[in-house]
Chain A
Amino acid sequence: MPQPGLADTPSSLRPSPLRRLQRSLAPTVADGLLSLGLIALLLWVGLQLASWAIGRADWAVLQLNSMLLLVGRYPLAEQWRLWLLAGLLAVQAGLSWGLLRAWPRADRSLQGWLWPRHDRIAALCVGLLALLLPAALQLALPLQARWWLLAAALLALRWAAGRWGTRLHRHQLRLVGLLWPVLYLAGLWLIGGGLGLPRVASGDWGGLLLTLLLASFAMALSFPLGVLLALGRRSSLPLLRWGSVVYIEFIRGAPLITLLFIGQNILGFLLPSGLAPDRVWRAAWVLIFFAAAYLAEAVRSGLAAVPRGQLEAARSLGLSQAQALVQVVIPQALRVALPTMVGQFIALLQDTTLLSLIGLLDLLGTARGIMANPEFLGHSSELYLVLAVLYWGCCASLGLGSRALERRLDPRSEPTRG
């Protein structure tokens, strides 16, 4: 974290790097010993892990199954659609990232930096990962090239949007934001097919694709449902209030795995066959209804944090109750609830691993299938390590994204510095 106070001090008054290090690691002798011990322990663990990963682990299991882990048994002939989607996502992400830096918030007195230190580190990591990881795994050259192209598209758009983004008009900027939902729907179409593309049944989606798809789908739909439930719980209409309370408390009182089993097994008995949605979508809806109950409580805490005067002030300005809620109260409530909500989203992403227990081939389920391939028996440690890194990567990027969003939404914050 950059320290705003330090950056403004003249460089002659800043302590030397060595002195700063000493101050942070060993302010007293006891602290110094503790630091040394911990550093030695970390080094030892790291070395052990590295010697295992380089010496004893057999990464052929990853080299041969990389696409399987990413997309499951998605038909080979249709996988170009997923690469196209990944390309579009990279372009859109690069564009949004660049524009965020080119257009710092209008109500800030200080100018933002085009390439703050975080961004330089992130760009370097993206480039190095795309160059080194596929090469280290000795993936086929066309596969390697696709990863290079994805990273190149992301970074090029980030650079171009940062450089020339200021020439865009305000309403054009809004369009870029609107592109995300459009892209999401286009992604669903590319993945599932229909409307001219051959259909790929949801049973054939798998791996990281299924995990991210179900998690993002659940996040996108549970959010509005959660806000409605939170408003319902604070409503003065008794039916609405009690309905919301019963729903929230029922869902929060039941473990997710129970609800997933109900969705998978009991629904088949209740609905006439053919009417029940596909089992992947059944799981998706269970995730949505589950996450909504928890989000509702997060949003409710946000609503409780907005002083009553805000609503009254908005009403006295002539706004209707709905306008006051949508334009004044909810935005403030969501800003307060953001960290909790992101926590829920991260938990939701990790909850998707439960899908493998009901037989769906999410990332964990796919990996377990690979572990059972007679050719790769005995390589579960390698796969579990990869899973850990992939899940960590997804959760960490959610966390980083949310902290960036918090900084941007916080009216008191300063832009990120280099």
Chain B
Amino acid sequence: MAVPFRRAGAGSLAVLMLLLAACAATSGPVGEISSAKLAAIRSRQQLICGIDGQTPGFSSPDNQGRERGFEVDLCKAVAAAVLGDAGKLSLHTVTLDSRFAAVASGEIDLLARTTTNTLSRDAPGGNALSFGPVDFHDGVDVMVPVASGITALNALNGSTICLLSGATTEQVLGDALRRQGATYKSLRFAQIQEAFAAYQAGRCGAISIDSSILAAQRSGFADPAAHRLLGKALSKEPQAPATAQADPAWAHAVRWIVYALIEAEEQGITQANVKAKLAEARANPKLADRRRFLGVEGNLGSQLGLPDDFVVKVITAVGHYGEIHARHLGEGSTLGLSRGANRLARDGGLMFSPPFR
């Protein structure tokens, strides 16, 4: 038993020295940030991030087995901010049913798997998650074969609709159809692929799920043009990363890392030009906004328990929000989704970051 003890001693000594060094360098209130999660991530030198692993564009393995996608880049951003290295990351695939227990038990540090923020998931009496800012606005939609001639919800009366069990879709669709006075039969599936295979085999006349998933799966159909999305978002599905409610300091750090991605887009700081922008900010004291944002002056990072230059690390690793969206979901990618509600607020979308000051 002597050896592990000695090691632990050396480890905490090193952490203490680092803290002292950080205090001396920034003179910020680093000592006041107490987050067990941040300390745990630092001591294991790895962020454990929960992803879905089976949603096109959001997370799926490439043919080398490396996970890629929107969720994965979010994990990389957080790893880069906390540990300074986007590679210090362990990706755990979590399922619809296991994701909340995985966060609450501390099995994963961060749930990056697209999860809709709802009251009952956020509330202490519900799943007790702590949601970050919305990183993707989605909405439940319905896809039908063009040949069916269905263009409106009430035409779905009496049809069988393929659904995913465990998602919020079923309640949303049920409510919407009830309002229309339409009845339907639901065919529930545990897995996305099974639901779409059933739809393609004609076992149901329509399939309903978040529109990003509908569009993504349609892009893999033999004849994508033969299927139509009704185009009426039946619900708000604001998807956000989540952490355990027990550690508010960690939740704050995650929240502002996501905001940093959006703020960087607002300021026009990209993966390619972040070095130049940083040099500019260093040279020019008049760029106060950018100097604070990139950690040249002030102690915004330390207030979160992060390095002051965490934004530089994040943007160097994954780029800003618009770049991540374009890389995996946007019109340049295989999926080719339009940016829609996920544009910046100044462009007419819903993405917006509070000020970094």
Contact = CB atoms under 8 A, between A and B. Distances in A.
A373 B56 CA distance: 5
B95 A374 contact: no
Given A372-B55, A374-B60, A68 B65 contact: yes
Contacts of B333: 374
Contact of B66 (A73, A265, A279): A73
B174 interface: no
A64 B62 CA distance: 9
B57 interface: yes
Interface in A96-121: none
Interface in B8-63: 40, 53-57, 59-63
A374 B220 CA distance: 8
Contacts of B192: 372
Interface stretch (A124-132, A148-156, A168-176, A375-383): A375-383
Chain A facing B: main interface SS = helix
B45 to A, nearest CB: 13
A273 B104 CA distance: 12
Interface stretch (B74-82, B86-94, B251-259, B305-313): B86-94
A358 B63 contact: no
A396 B335 CA distance: 40
Contacts of A232: none
A268 B109 CA distance: 13
Contacts of B335: 374
A143 to B, nearest CB: 13
Interface stretch (A299-307, A334-342, A361-369): A361-369
A372 B65 contact: no
Name the residue among B62, B196, B221 with the largest chain A CB count within 10 angstroms. Answer: B62
B63 A268 contact: no
B107 interface: yes
Contacts of B278: none
A82 to B, nearest CB: 13
Chain B facing A: main interface SS = loop
Contacts of A266: 101
A203 B92 contact: yes
B334 interface: yes
B95 A357 contact: yes
Contact of B107 (A279, A361, A372): A279
A374 B105 contact: no
Contacts of A322: none
A361 to B, nearest CB: 6
Nearest to A74: B65
A357 B93 CA distance: 10
Interface string A342-353: 000000000000
Nearest to A66: B63
Report, as a range, how many residues of chain A touch the other chain: 35 or more
Contact of A372 (B53, B102, B222): B53
Contacts of B191: 368
Nearest to A365: B93
Given A203-B90, A268-B101, A372-B55, A378 B221 contact: yes
A359 B222 contact: no
Interface string A254-265: 000000010011
Nearest to B95: A359
Contacts of A366: 61
B216 interface: yes
Nearest to A204: B65
Contact of B106 (A261, A273, A373): A273
B219 A377 contact: yes
A375 B191 CA distance: 19
Given A264-B98, A358-B98, A269 B105 contact: yes
A374 B65 contact: no
A358 B219 contact: no
A268 B98 contact: no
Contact of B53 (A201, A279, A369, A375): A369
Given A265-B105, A268-B105, A76 B64 contact: yes
Contacts of A376: 220
A376 B94 CA distance: 22
B63 A373 contact: yes
A226 interface: no
Interface in A373-418: 373-381
A94 interface: no
B120 interface: no
B56 A72 contact: no
Contacts of B190: 357
Name the residue among A203, A358, A369, A374 with the largest chain B CB count within 10 angstroms. Answer: A374
Contacts of A373: 56, 60-63
B155 interface: no
A269 B100 CA distance: 12
B44 to A, nearest CB: 9
B63 A65 contact: yes
A71 B64 CA distance: 10
Contact of A73 (B65, B193, B216): B65
A64 B63 contact: yes
A368 to B, nearest CB: 5
A380 B197 contact: yes
A269 to B, nearest CB: 5
A388 B145 CA distance: 30
Contact of A369 (B60, B90, B95, B97): B60
A377 B98 contact: no
A269 B101 CA distance: 9
Given A371-B193, A374-B334, A359 B94 contact: yes
Given A74-B65, A265-B105, A377 B90 contact: no
Given A279-B107, A372-B53, A372-B56, A73 B61 contact: yes
Interface string A237-275: 000000000000000000000000100111011000100
A271 B102 CA distance: 14
A378 B220 contact: yes
Nearest to B106: A273
8 contacts: A65-B63, A71-B65, A73-B65, A261-B98, A264-B107, A358-B95, A369-B53, A377-B334
Given A65-B63, A203-B90, A380-B197, 13 more contacts: A71-B65, A73-B64, A265-B107, A268-B105, A279-B92, A358-B98, A360-B93, A361-B53, A369-B61, A371-B54, A371-B193, A374-B220, A380-B193
Interface of B: 40, 53-57, 59-67, 90-95, 97-98, 101-102, 104-107, 190-193, 196-197, 216-217, 219-222, 333-335
Instruction: Sort A-B residue pairs by CB-CB distance and give the 6 closest, nearest first.
Output: A377-B220, A73-B65, A268-B105, A378-B220, A374-B334, A372-B60
Interface of A: 64-65, 67-68, 71-74, 76, 201, 203, 206, 261, 264-266, 268-269, 273, 279, 357-361, 365-366, 368-381
